[in-house]
């Protein structure tokens, strides 16, 4: 025992010396390294202090502010980071004459933004594969008009000068989902599928998960029912379907959970869907909510096998929400693919503030679907557009034939959700050439400049969606006239989405980032804050400053 005490004090002295020496060398306090809101800072410090890493350092003054060499504490061993991210191959510029159609599925996930925020908060530049620009853009709300017609969403478009390349244009598309009548909500059948394996024991995993689900309970009605399925080495039901009004019973079931064992994710998914189907509410909101760090290692555990399993289960009209927790062994790519396969949405919960955003402020948008298999297809007019590039949505690209194929799965739109997409456009009048020129075709005329489209139209947008209880899609078509604006005359929607896109390109070190820099991203955001009732846009500005500071210290 005496030796253990001596070792502990020795460790304390060494770490304190390291902290002081580092501060002296850099001329900065530890707090200077984190330009984030106090609320988020305190939450992250509390999570780290209570994690396996933090508990080993409780006697050391403020050691939660010291960042591990790789930036991510991992279960007491900061040098072993096994987080996994899929490689993203950025969309390239396409020739509007030879490739006039751009087709993609909408994406309402926003896990990428909060995960990137977590990494920057801990002093590390994010893995390029973690930066999905469309998810970063769609983390924020935009001020689009509410739908008034027969369709459950409205469409907003705007064209203006591109901030990072003065010779290019930027085209902005926004979709606003219809808000539900909260006095006439259909009941929910929710199955909480919770990972309680050994990798979930840290404070920012299972304990934060409990707090998050308690927030959701407060938003449910008496007609809703909740089941809880857990999985570790095996899967089992710890709470049979229970009315949400019996909160004490549900909370006790959550509080009794403890982490331990390996991770049989596939078995848990099968059991959760089985229970959801057995308790299906016709015309209701039937949903499995999976909370995990994604580190499946027993039974059906490969990403492709799990995707196949989820694709089979979605046929029962049961929706999927995935919540990612933790750090060090986080499997982002796996969960993102599973979410895409399961008529689902995907969030990363890095602190209780984010849990409140997902489960309280945006609960109905995240938990109630109003349109499914929503696809967008844009036909560019070569008389106005020479080249175009879709920013983000790399893993949501569809073949042009998929647009009219009702069997092809696409993204779901939640009640009150906004979805935003950006295209960078090189005008037809530009002398800029991209890529190698190919020989003219023998059987087609490719060198003429005659186009049948209207000269004042820049493009035509086509939308397809399925009503919630239908397997037949509905088509909407909208022609967009060329109406270029100076950047300073564009809307807050336009400039703020451009700020986030430029920031994402910087984090990815994109070959298409042009003349963007952190100062430009910050300026665009500052000048387009709008109402910002929840302070999310101001927090983004702080995050830009944090990334700039980290990048200059490398």
Per-residue pLDDT tens over the stretch 162-193:
999 999 999 999 999 999 887 788 899 999 99
Q: What is the pTM (predicted TM-score) of this model?
A: 0.84
pLDDT category of residue 46 using cuts at 50, 70 and 90: low
pLDDT tens digits, 362-388: 998 999 999 999 999 999 999 999 999
The rounded radius of gyration (Å) of the Cα atoms in the chain is 25
Percent of the chain beyond pLDDT 70? Answer: 80
pLDDT tens digits, 506-524: 999 999 999 999 999 999 9
User: Is a pLDDT exceeding 60 seen at residue 31?
Assistant: no
Closest CA to 153 of 322, 374, 302, 336: 374
Which residues pair with residue 158 across a beta bridge? Answer: 172
Per-residue model confidence (pLDDT) at position 464: 97
Per-residue model confidence (pLDDT) at position 185: 86
pLDDT tens digits, 101-138: 999 999 889 999 999 999 999 999 999 999 999 999 99
Token pair in block for residue 269:
């998914």
Instruction: Estimate to the nearest angstrom the gap between the alpha carbon of 7 and the chain centroid.
Output: 43
Cβ atoms of 379 and 100 within 8 Å: the answer is: yes
Cβ atoms of 211 and 173 within 8 Å: the answer is: no
User: Is a pLDDT exceeding 80 seen at residue 470?
Assistant: yes
pLDDT tens digits, 445-464: 655 556 666 578 999 999 99
Dihedral (Cα; 448, 450, 452, 458), 10-degree rounding: 100
Percent of the chain beyond pLDDT 90? Answer: 64
Residue-averaged pLDDT of the chain: 84
Domains and CATH numbers, the chain: 2-65 (no CATH), 94-180+370-429+453-553 (2.60.40.1230), 183-365 (3.40.50.410)
Q: Which helix (H) or strand (E) holds 169?
A: strand 169-177
Q: What three-state secondary structure class fits 399? A: coil
Residues contacting 465, CB < 8 A, separation 6+: 151, 152, 153, 371, 372, 373, 374, 375, 413, 473, 474, 476
State the sign of the Cα–Cα–Cα–Cα dihedral 269, 274, 277, 278.
negative
b (16+ CB within 10 A) / e for 492-517 = bbbbbbbbbbbbbbbbbebebbbebe
User: Is a pLDDT exceeding 80 seen at residue 60?
Assistant: no
Residue 218 CB neighbour total at 10 angstroms: 11
Question: What count of residues does the chain have?
Answer: 554
Residues contacting 294, CB < 8 A, separation 6+: 265, 324, 330, 331, 332, 334, 335
Of 35 and 105, the one with more pLDDT: 105
Mean pLDDT of 400-411: 96
Per-residue model confidence (pLDDT) at position 445: 65
User: Is a pLDDT exceeding 60 seen at residue 87?
Assistant: yes
Cβ atoms of 122 and 71 within 8 Å: the answer is: yes
pLDDT tens digits, 527-551: 999 999 999 999 999 999 999 999 9
């Amino acid at each position: 025992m005496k030796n253990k005490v001596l070792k502990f004090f020795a460790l304390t002295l060494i770490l304190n010396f390291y902290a002081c020496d580092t501060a002296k060398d850099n001329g900065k306090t530890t707090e200077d390294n984190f330009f984030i809101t106090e609320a988020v800072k305190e939450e992250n410090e509390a999570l780290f202090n209570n994690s396996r890493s933090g508990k080993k350092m409780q006697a050391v003054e403020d050691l939660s502010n010291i960042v591990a060499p790789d930036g991510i504490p991992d279960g007491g061993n900061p040098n072993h980071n096994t987080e996994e991210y899929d490689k993203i191959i950025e969309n390239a510029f396409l020739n509007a004459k030879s490739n006039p159609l751009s087709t993609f599925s909408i994406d309402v996930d926003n896990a990428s933004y909060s995960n990137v925020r977590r990494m920057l908060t801990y002093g590390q530049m994010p893995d390029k594969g973690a930066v999905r620009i469309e998810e970063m853009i769609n983390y924020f709300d935009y001020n689009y008009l509410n739908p008034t017609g027969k369709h459950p969403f409205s469409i907003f478009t705007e064209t203006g000068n591109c901030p990072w390349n003065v010779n290019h244009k930027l085209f902005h598309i926004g979709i606003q989902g219809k808000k539900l009548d909260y006095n006439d909500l259909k009941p929910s059948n929710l199955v909480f599928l919770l990972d309680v394996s050994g990798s979930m024991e840290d404070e920012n995993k299972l304990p934060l998960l409990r707090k998050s689900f308690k927030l959701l309970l407060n938003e449910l009605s008496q007609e809703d029912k909740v089941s809880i399925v857990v999985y570790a080495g095996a899967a089992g039901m710890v709470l049979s379907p229970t009315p949400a009004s019996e909160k004490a019973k549900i909370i006790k079931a959550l509080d009794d959970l403890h982490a331990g064992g390996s991770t049989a994710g596939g078995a848990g998914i099968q059991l959760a869907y089985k229970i959801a189907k057995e308790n299906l509410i016709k015309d209701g909101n039937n949903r499995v909510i999976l909370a995990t760090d994604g580190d499946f290692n027993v039974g059906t555990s490969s990403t492709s096998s799990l995707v196949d399993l989820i694709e089979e289960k979605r046929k029962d009209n049961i929706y999927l929400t995935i919540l990612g927790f933790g750090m060090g062994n986080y499997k982002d790519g796996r969960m993102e693919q599973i979410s895409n396969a399961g008529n689902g949405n995907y969030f990363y919960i890095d602190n209780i503030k984010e849990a409140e955003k997902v489960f309280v402020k945006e609960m109905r948008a995240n938990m109630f679907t109003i349109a499914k298999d929503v696809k967008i297809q844009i036909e560019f007019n070569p008389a106005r557009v020479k080249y175009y590039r879709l920013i983000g949505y790399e893993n949501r690209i569809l073949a042009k034939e998929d647009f009219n194929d009702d069997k092809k799965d696409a993204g779901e739109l939640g009640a009150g959700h906004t979805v935003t997409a950006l295209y960078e456009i090189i005008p037809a009048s530009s002398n800029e050439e991209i890529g190698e020129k190919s020989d003219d075709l023998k059987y087609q005329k490719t060198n003429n400049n005659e186009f049948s489209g209207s000269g004042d139209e820049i493009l035509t947008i086509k939308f397809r969606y399925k009503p919630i209880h239908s397997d037949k899609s509905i088509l909407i078509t909208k022609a967009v006239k060329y109406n270029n604006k100076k950047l300073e005359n564009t809307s807050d929607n336009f400039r703020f989405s451009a700020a986030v896109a430029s920031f994402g390109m910087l984090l990815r070190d994109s070959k298409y980032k042009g003349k963007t820099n952190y100062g430009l991203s910050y300026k665009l955001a500052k000048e387009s804050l709008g109402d910002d009732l929840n302070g999310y846009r101001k927090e983004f500005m702080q995050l830009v400053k944090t990334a700039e500071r980290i990048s200059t210290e490398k």
